Amino acid sequence: MILSRHFFSIVKFIFLIAFFLLLSCNKNEEFFESAICIENITLIDAKSGFRPNMTLVIKGNKIFNVFKTEDIKLSKENKIINGSNKYIIPGLWDSHVHIGYDTSLTEHMLSLFLTNGVTSIRDTGGEIGYLKKWKELSLEFQDSLPRIMISGPLIDGIPTVYDGSDPSHPTIGIGIDSEKAVIKMVDSLYDLGVDFIKAYEMLSPEVYKALLDRAKEKGIKVSGHVPLSMDAISISNAGLNSMEHLRNLEFSLIKNPEKLLNERQQILNKNKDKHGDELRWKVYNQQRFNAIRNSDSVQLEVLLNTLKENQTFQVPTLILEKFYANRTFVDTSWQNGFNYLPKAIKLKWEKEISEFVKKEIDSTDFEYSDWMFSLVGKMNSAGVDLMAGTDTPILYLTPGLSLHEELASFVEAGLSELEAIETATWTPAKYFGLDNELGNIEPGMIADLLILDGNPIKNIKNTRNIISVIKNGRMFNREELNILLNRIDNRQN
């Protein structure tokens, strides 16, 4: 009898253990209705760095939650994607593009951006009506077109650079020579809903400052070239929010920058009859390499500190200058991207390249490129905000593909792989005040993401190894991306 009671006590104990184990096994089992669950994947972003063995849940267009895989048991009823040995990063930005530079290319550009993981673009100058139309389409089709942030036309001085005088200078700029007119233009663009304003380098100091002041009153950012009539330090202090191409920064690095500034202003005043592009190149040719070769370390430190303190973002477009020196566009692997362009543009680019390569490489191209790469490394070390941009489709830069080349160029300039990724994810989101919505992989963020078949922290070139693009919560797998690429290819014939 005693043995029997003992036996039943043991059975009861075992049953209770089994029951509680069963409860324990089922306790963390989770079902997320109408969600995508990516299990056991490595998350990489600028905020949290490298997080292996994670589970990501996407509901609607947002990241619903992020878990350590060991802390959650997903119900088999979920839509589960196995992320083992895969990596996920935020969707990329190209922060310097011109979708209206050649209107026959726009549709192809947007498709190529998406298929290459560029889920957001910052258009830095074009005809406002045309850009507004495409921005509205991007808002209507948020899950299939990249996000488009627009500035409208380049606000330039007189003479004007992009005045429609030839195919290389389409009408994407407008010349303004009075404070009253520029204030009216800023008000007009603000009313039309631009996301920022682009100021160009032929503006006079008075007009440029009036533009900056009015934009600040309206609460809208201004991007631009450092004007030839001013210097980088004074224009940063005046409120320019981002500088493009590092253009004209070199003039502020010499021991006596005021002397160069006076010379530039004299050249500008005496040559107003010249075309804007001809006039600016006259200045470059007379001053650029004198400034680079006589750069002063004290002036450099002043400039870097000024840019950091004023949070003046820099968009170096390294790949643009690198191409002049290294002529990467000659490579067969690079020209393969031309197959996704309209046939007329593909043939035009190939013909121009064949003529271009006959010209002897100018040693100053290497000198200028080396200076830019060195300066970017110093900017990064000083804590200056850097954004990845390309200037596509200018100079045979294939949309989307060229952004990955820019990321590799940042690493070449001295950034870590994670810092390079930051320039195309969190930093541009921060520029637009969207850093609580985009750029990192956290609950509540918009689900613009890339799944990669390779670790981009180990090799930045792995950003190109895209398995899936997730745009606004919609997932395009590799097969769907290939179908989209084939459609682009068919459209260009």
**Does residue 408 share a domain with residue 349?**
yes
Residue ranges of the chain whose pLDDT lies below 50: 1-3, 7, 11, 18-25
**Does residue 149 share a domain with residue 199?**
yes
* Rounded Cα distance, 326 and 36, in Å: 43
**Does residue 181 share a domain with residue 38?**
no
Q: Which two tokens stand for residue 7?
A: 């036996």
CA nearest 311: which of 443, 222, 210, 418? 222
Phi, psi dihedral angles at 4 (to 5 degrees): -65, -45
Q: Which two tokens stand for residue 77?
A: 């009823």
**Does residue 100 share a domain with residue 54?**
no
* Rounded Cα distance, 99 and 440, in Å: 26
Structural domain count, the chain: 2
* Rounded Cα distance, 458 and 410, in Å: 15
Three-state DSSP string of the chain = CHHHHHHHHHHHHHHHHHHHHHHHHHHCEECCCCEEEEEEEEEEECCCEEEEEEEEEEECCEEEEEEEHHHCEECCCCEEEECCCCEEEECEEEEEECCCCCHHHHHHHHHHHHHCCEEEEEECCCCHHHHHHHHHHHHHCCCCCCEEEECCCEEECCCCCCCCCECCECCCEEECCCHHHHHHHHHHHHHCCCCEEEECCCCCHHHHHHHHHHHHHHCCEEEECCCCCCCHHHHHHHCCCEEECCCCHHHHCECCHHHHHHHHHHHHHHCCCCCHHHHHHHHHHHHHHHHHHCECHHHHHHHHHHHHHCCCEEECCHHHHHHHHHCHHHCHHHHHHHHHCCHHHHHHHHHHHHHHCCCCCCHHHHHHHHHHHHHHHHHHHHCCCECCCCCECHHHCCCCHHHHHHHHHHHHCCCCHHHHHHHCCHHHHHHCCCCCCCCCCCCCCECCEEEECCCCCCCHHHHHCEEEEEECCEEECHHHHHHHHHHHHHHCC
**Does residue 182 share a domain with residue 78?**
no
The answer as to whether 458 is a domain residue is no
CATH of the domain at 117: 3.20.20.140
Phi, psi dihedral angles at 410 (to 5 degrees): -60, -40
User: In Å, what is the CA distance from 477 to each residue of 110, 198, 438, 452, 480?
Assistant: 18, 36, 21, 11, 5
**Does residue 42 share a domain with residue 112?**
no
Q: Which two tokens stand for residue 54?
A: 């994670």
* Rounded Cα distance, 56 and 64, in Å: 8
**Does residue 25 share a domain with residue 163?**
no
**Does residue 405 share a domain with residue 262?**
yes
Q: Which two tokens stand for residue 214?
A: 């009015």
The answer as to whether 4 is a domain residue is no
**Does residue 209 share a domain with residue 162?**
yes
Contacts of 475 (CB under 8 A, 6+ apart): 36, 468, 469
Domain end marker among 85, 103, 137 = 85
- Domain ranges, residue 74: 21-85
The answer as to whether 467 is a domain residue is no
The answer as to whether 457 is a domain residue is no
The answer as to whether 205 is a domain residue is yes
CATH of the domain at 40: 2.30.40.10
The answer as to whether 10 is a domain residue is no
* Rounded Cα distance, 190 and 215, in Å: 8
Q: Please answer whether residues 387 and 439 qualify as being in contact, where contact means their C-beta atoms are separated by less than 8 angstroms.
A: no
CA nearest 303: which of 259, 358, 246, 261? 246
What integer pLDDT is reported at residue 3 of this predicted model? 46
**Does residue 256 share a domain with residue 328?**
yes
Domain end marker among 85, 120, 138 = 85
The answer as to whether 47 is a domain residue is yes
Alpha-carbon torsion (182, 187, 193, 195), positive or negative: positive
Domain end marker among 62, 85, 108 = 85
Q: Please answer whether residues 38 and 56 qualify as being in contact, where contact means their C-beta atoms are separated by less than 8 angstroms.
A: yes
In which residue are the tokens 């045979």 written?
396
**Does residue 186 share a domain with residue 280?**
yes
Phi, psi dihedral angles at 415 (to 5 degrees): -75, 150
**Does residue 61 share a domain with residue 181?**
no
What integer pLDDT is reported at residue 28 of this predicted model? 61
The answer as to whether 451 is a domain residue is no
